[in-house]
Amino acid sequence: MLTKELSAFELDHHFEALLMLGIQDHPVTQNQLAELLQVDKSRVVSIIAYLEQKKLIKIEKNPADRREHYVHLSSDAVSSIPYIERSVEKINELAEFGIEDEKLATFFEVSEMIQQNLLKQAI
């Protein structure tokens, strides 16, 4: 639904990576982005390649450590963040319509517990 809502971006996925980069107040390395998105580092490499191809991010070598790369939003991506955020809010409102706050809170609590259980197994 989000891809359809944001079809003008000609982007099939990875909106979450753009949003995550948009809220950072300091340079983010590829490894840090993997941790923020809770995905494997190899997955982040493909996400970065895709977004770089779409000219939504820029990669910059850390001058202090040339092995480390910073990921920055392009100016086009920065200006798109508010639109993406509004679209996510709209979809969340549609998804949550008619569901009591207490039931939503329980759903999110259980979802978090499931995620923590799975993270424990991955270690």
Query: Higher-confidence residue: 64 or 105?
Result: 105
13 vs 110: CA distance, rounded Å: 26
Looking up residue 88, the CATH number of its domain turns out to be 1.10.10.10
61 vs 21: CA distance, rounded Å: 17
What pLDDT score was predicted for residue 26? 87
> pLDDT tens, 61-98?
888 888 888 999 999 899 989 999 998 999 999 999 99
**Which residues are 35's β-sheet partners?**
none
Number of domains in the chain: 1
Q: What is the mean pLDDT of the chain?
A: 89
Query: Higher-confidence residue: 73 or 3?
Result: 73
Instruction: Taking residues 42-61, report their average pLDDT.
Output: 92
- Tell me the two tokens of residue 78: 């920065």
Domain range for 65 is 2-122
Instruction: Taking residues 103-109, report their average pLDDT.
Output: 95
Pairing label, strands 28-29, 57-62: unpaired
pTM comes to: 0.79
Q: Please determine, for residue 49, whether its predicted confidence score (pLDDT) is greater than 90.
A: yes
What pLDDT score was predicted for residue 123? 61
Banded pLDDT at 2 (limits 50, 70, 90): confident
